[in-house]
Amino acid sequence: MDSKKKITEMSPNKTARTAGFLFLLLVPLGFFGGMYIPSITVPGNAVTTVNNIIANESLFRLSILCALATPIVTILVALFLYKLLKPVNKNHAVLMVIFTLAAAPIAMLNELNHFAVLLLLNGTEYLKVFSEDQLYSQVMFFLDLSHYGASITAIFWGLWLFPLGYLVFKSGFLPRILGVLLIIAGFGYIINSVALFILPDFNIRVTDYTFIGELLFLLWLLFKGVNVEQWEKRALESTGIK
């Protein structure tokens, strides 16, 4: 009886909505943290790019801050989803968390490239040995390097969506179609990244069409939650309680 009471006290809908809210936070954080700096970068034009950065330095720094916050929030999302989906399959739930943990240091270290850009442009004395053209070329190099680093992070983001999609599909307390769409979204991120490494001259953006699964999933968690009866049934089965 105590075990059953403990399971029902876990409040799966509260867990689901917390995960959904945190997932929703990733939208502005990920968009501004990942898209603002590329939006002011002009490929092949270092002078315009540098002028854009200097004119918008505060936003450039804010973008870095958002990019640093994104993996932290992602880990929190994964932990709440782990709590919610562990009754379905603990091994897959653990794998989901592992992928987010692996991505976090890569994403955060990648922001050193953007800090390097700021250092190159802040007029530090020891950088005066470089000409203006050399400094600007290095700025473009670090911005390009950051672009590739973000693609490496995206591979892990795609990977964590596979166990997540599987767990949602098998759960019985969330719509199966959401699981399918999450897996499709995972493939989208991986295809984007692999395409950048193999075909860098082609701007392949599969995620422009596959992101819908993530959006629908977070909205479902926020506004619908889970089928509590089915969740409790799975939780009891996972503990061996009849």
Q: What is the DSSP string of 106-137?
A: HHHHHTHHHHHHHHHHTT-GGGGGS-HHHHHH
CA distances from 147 to 101, 142, 154 (A): 20, 9, 11
- The full length of the chain comes to 242
The tokens for 160 are 């964590």
pLDDT of residue 131: 85
Inter-residue contact 168 to 231 (CB < 8 Å):
no
Q: What are phi and psi of 139, to 5 degrees?
A: -60, -45
**What angle do helix axes 57-85 and 90-110 make, rounded to 10 degrees?**
170
Q: Cβ–Cβ contacts within 10 Å for residue 132, how many?
A: 10
Using the structure block, give the residue that is written with the tokens 């075909």: 199
Using the structure block, give the residue that is written with the tokens 């759960």: 171
pLDDT of residue 88: 95
pLDDT of residue 110: 96
Q: Mean pLDDT of residues grouped by 10 in the chain (242 residues)?
A: 49 94 94 92 92 94 96 96 95 96 95 94 78 90 94 94 97 96 95 89 82 94 93 84 52
